[in-house]
Structure 1
Amino acid sequence: MRVSQTNSRTNLAGDLLLHLGGSGDGPLHERVKRALRAAIRDGRIEVGTALPPSRQLAADLGCSRWAVTEAYGQLVAEGYLEARTGSATRVRWSNAADADERRPAAGQTPLPRFDLAPGLPDLRAFPRRRWADAVRAQVTTAEFTEFGYPPPGGHPRLRRLLAEYLGRSRGVVAGPQDVTVCTSVTDGVRRVCQTLRAQGITAVGCEEPGWTRLREVISAAGLRAVPIPTDDGGVHVEDLAAQADLRAVLTTPAHQFPLGSVLVPERRAALLHWARRVDGVVLEDDYDAEFRYDRRPVAALQGMDPSRVVLFKSLSKVVSPALGIGWIVAPPRWTALLHETDQTATQPPTLDQLAFAALLESGAYDRHLRACRHRYRDRRDALVRSLADQLPDAPVSGIAAGLHLILRLPVTVNTEAVVRAAADRSLRVADLTAYHATDARAEHGLVLGYGNLADSAVEEAVGLLRAAIEESR
């Protein structure tokens, strides 16, 4: 018999399947006891789970309340259950072997106390109330037709608002029809690479060093990822032009990862000239564009030549990767091919798209960005000061922007050993050499992210990093 739990409580054994057997299997209270014991021993009811009140379970089973209370009492005496006055009857027994199997595997790294690795915004600053209010408003006011399958390319309202927002904030030249909603930059690059391959493009130039995950996505799409040297002025366009078979390149012109540079004006112009000359396309990851602390950010490269640039962006580094909302802005030709090539592509739930659209329309998203910009600027300043005080022989590089910086270490320091020593101190940092695709790894240092680092933890985190570096000299 299936027992249905109807009232709302935390960790209740809802919709519990009990096998009571027939009347010939003994008294009902014994059968209830055996069924509950079996459910506990099989792991179908976990430790700490609250069982239904005896009156409710009796009603669900169609028996007397005494049969249930008697079964509960016997299981309490046997140590399977725990009863407290004024509280629910809860499961207290677990199979030790099963519990061990549910523990993290041997060698699995626990979450660090201090996370200085790049890739996350301040998760403490997630706009919980604004997001909850926006979702709630859409649930209560959206037309019933909105609860069907989302339209291809994303909800029209979000596409329109994104086109308007990107036009005023990033200088993007696009209409709603040029915007495709996706789940992340990774998802967007994957989809575009599949489209490129379908059009006969076999390779994509990638900044060296650069974001490892995107190189993997390009390779997984069946394309060759070609490393293109990158320095403080951005990607070397002359090295890109020297690759005769290249017609596509992936770049982060607003804030290069990991070097933290900006594509200089002469290279911006040269990159677009190259794309026109080879009838190619520039894939622009608008990474960290919102967070520039020393001046206003440069406009998106897309606005200089919308016919040759595909722009990618998501909320992962701005609000939270948990939302799974991103977008692609592409020329009409590529947008049409994109939808034609990948007709089974997933996209964020419609209600989440509408909630984000509401934040854009109300100005709440802009307010969130302004608050984050001030917070990150102050945190970066505090981190730079602490590094200068505690590690004076390790200069910082990269423009005042984004959510990470580069800590240059003396060549006498083994950066791989620093990463290990830091992990031993529950501090996560990233080795700069890990973002290289070739053996010519001239860069020596660490990539330090401060997006998800608590302000109060800066000094202690740098102190642990200093100890790890001293140990690794």
Structure 2
Amino acid sequence: MNRANEHHCEGSESSRPAGGSDFLQLDLREVAPGGRTECLTARIRSAIADGTLPLGSRLPPTRVLAAELGVSRGLVTEAYQRLADAGQIQGSGRAGTTVVAAPLAPDLPDAAPPARPAARSDGPGGPFGAGDGGALVDALRAVPCRIDLSPGVPDLTAFPRTAWLQAERRVLAALTPGDFGYGNPQGAPALRTAVTGWLARNRGIRADPDEVVVVAGVAQALALVAHVLREGGVRKVAVEDPGSLGARQQLEYGRLETVPVPVDGGGLDTAALRASGAPAVLLTPAHQFPTGVVLDGERRRELLGWAAAGGLVVEDDYDAEHRYDRAPVPALRALLPEGVCYAGSVSKLLAPALRLGWLLVPPRLREAVIAAKRYADLGNPVLAQLVLARLMDSGELERHLRFVRRRHRRRRDAMLRAVAAHLPGARVHGAAAGLHLMVTFDGAAFEDTALAAEALALGVKAHPLSWHRIRPGAPGLVLGYAASPPGELEEGVALLGRALSRLR
């Protein structure tokens, strides 16, 4: 854009009544004809970025805005289309055009474009920049977008509201005043009993209710285990590489050193585990995050032998219920209870907001874990525990699982078709189960953080695979599919393809 026209795009006041164009403070008649579309696009984008046009607000109809600015309707339509392509606005038929996402920074039309691939991937403050991994994940989660393909999110629209409300009414009707006091820090007996039934039916685990500790999700389970291990003299824990960034950070926050152990097509490399010297290991054997592989039979036998000789396995039973094309595999806890800490939750089955899960630990650690839970929060809220127990006992949770499993399969299939169509050269991993796919680009010269940043600029969120690696590896993305309908998945992956083409 011509520098002489800059002040008009940044806020010159027009003497004519603006009406629906008041938010622009712009007179396009004073801008050279060749730069009007760019100027209008930049001014609207700036208004979105600085909050003048907050998320959810409606833009004036193109006809109205064109008349008030004294320009052609086609010029306004083109500006709107550019913003829609970037994922910042969305047309909804008669409902009009609304703001759906803010840009990462106000648009500066006269600034020189940054070099690729570092453009939006590792600048200070960006969600893909260098820094603490947990902060980066939180920053990405907070950025509005049009299509969210972040992993680890179930279909939240499928939450069984009616069943939950009915169960809650029945629970409330049966409670006495005394039931509203402080509960057992280990968890409500009704839920601990229901969890043992659920695990026996779905994971082949035989346990007594006294072995169950109710926790605020797997995150707290790992925090409690880290605390107890540290107090017991353990200083390092082996982790899968690649593996969950969030799980690794829970252990590191508990002041444990995490030692990377490679994951291949058979799961965790047990020979490398032995060589690491770590006395404990955290792994996701039923559906490894993020690769999706299952710990194979030989590795299971080797791992259980290692645990029987004194090692401790921390089993995160990640995505175990969500399988489509393969038979269930038994939980490690079912095979060696005295050598396995087992953690599970309903975050991926119902909703992360419930913050409800369970932890089973070997007898030698149980009292220490219960004490750690007591001093952490005095126990989970009792009412939600009792409602979940009723859903488990009544069969409603199993009915819900069957329902979402069918829906997730359809969405998985839609994403597979979209990846095949729009991401040439991508290798797909872990499609047989879970709520996400991992795709890698072997031999690619770009960084996956750059690809994720390009995608976010187009309105699509995805995790770069490098976030979940400790050692270097092929670039890739971790793509969640459970939370989006098939049409949205198709559009999101198509935009990923557009982002990919910009880097190649």
1:330-359 deviation per Cα after TM superposition (whole angstroms, max 9, x unaligned)? 122221221234431323211100000000
* Candidates 310, 321, 331, aligned match of 2:362: 331
1:251-301 deviation per Cα after TM superposition (whole angstroms, max 9, x unaligned)? 000000011111001111111111122x22100000000011012221111
Corresponding residue for 1:319? 350
Corresponding residue for 1:429? 462
Alpha-carbon distance in 2 for matches of 1:414, 1:202: 33
**Alignment partner of 1:239 is 2:297:** no
- The percentage of aligned residue pairs carrying the same residue is 41
Corresponding residue for 1:366? 398
**Alignment partner of 1:394 is 2:394:** no
Contact 2:186–2:373, Cα closer than 8 Å, also in 1: no
Contact 2:185–2:373, Cα closer than 8 Å, also in 1: no
CA distance 1:322–1:201, change in 2 (3 Å):
same
Alpha-carbon distance in 1 for matches of 2:322, 2:333: 18
Equivalenced residue count is: 366
How big is the shift at 1:161? Answer: 1.1
Unmatched tracts of structure 1, length 5 or more:
1-103
How big is the shift at 1:105? Answer: 10
**Alignment partner of 1:271 is 2:303:** yes
Corresponding residue for 1:188? 221
After TM superposition, the structure 1 = structure 2 runs for residues 288-367 of structure 1, keeping only pairs within 5 Å, are: 288-346=319-377, 347-367=379-399
1:6-39 deviation per Cα after TM superposition (whole angstroms, max 9, x unaligned)? xxxxxxxxxxxxxxxxxxxxxxxxxxxxxxxxxx
How big is the shift at 1:390? Answer: 2.3
Corresponding residue for 2:38? none
Corresponding residue for 2:162? 129
Q: Larger Rg: 1 or 2? A: 1
1:367-426 deviation per Cα after TM superposition (whole angstroms, max 9, x unaligned)? 011111111111101110121122232231224100111122251444222111110111
1:88-132 deviation per Cα after TM superposition (whole angstroms, max 9, x unaligned)? xxxxxxxxxxxxxxxx99877642111111021011111111112
Contact 2:192–2:209, Cα closer than 8 Å, also in 1: yes
Unmatched tracts of structure 2, length 5 or more:
1-103, 107-124, 126-138
Aligned amino acid, residue 386 of structure 1: A
CA distance 1:388–1:105, change in 2 (3 Å):
closer
Alpha-carbon distance in 1 for matches of 2:372, 2:457: 47
**Alignment partner of 1:469 is 2:487:** no
Alpha-carbon distance in 2 for matches of 1:370, 1:338: 33
1:427-463 deviation per Cα after TM superposition (whole angstroms, max 9, x unaligned)? 001111111123xx12321111112112231221121
Corresponding residue for 1:202? 235
What is the DSSP-based 3-state SS (H/G/I as helix, E as strand, rest coil) of the residue aligned with 1:242?
helix
1:198-238 deviation per Cα after TM superposition (whole angstroms, max 9, x unaligned)? 11111111001111111111111121111111112111110
Corresponding residue for 1:170? 203
* Candidates 489, 492, 500, aligned match of 1:458: 489
Corresponding residue for 1:37? none
Aligned amino acid, residue 140 of structure 1: A
Alpha-carbon distance in 2 for matches of 1:295, 1:261: 12
Alpha-carbon distance in 2 for matches of 1:450, 1:343: 37
What is the DSSP-based 3-state SS (H/G/I as helix, E as strand, rest coil) of the residue aligned with 2:213?
strand
- Of the structure 1 ranges 173-182 and 129-138, higher mean CA displacement relative to structure 2 is found in 129-138
**Alignment partner of 1:249 is 2:281:** yes
What is the DSSP-based 3-state SS (H/G/I as helix, E as strand, rest coil) of the residue aligned with 1:345?
helix
Corresponding residue for 1:44? none
1:49-81 deviation per Cα after TM superposition (whole angstroms, max 9, x unaligned)? xxxxxxxxxxxxxxxxxxxxxxxxxxxxxxxxx
Alpha-carbon distance in 1 for matches of 2:249, 2:265: 24
TM-score normalised by the chain length of structure 1: 0.75
Contact 2:423–2:496, Cα closer than 8 Å, also in 1: no
CA distance 1:414–1:215, change in 2 (3 Å):
closer
What is the DSSP-based 3-state SS (H/G/I as helix, E as strand, rest coil) of the residue aligned with 2:338?
coil
Alpha-carbon distance in 2 for matches of 1:399, 1:282: 26
* Candidates 164, 174, 187, aligned match of 1:154: 187
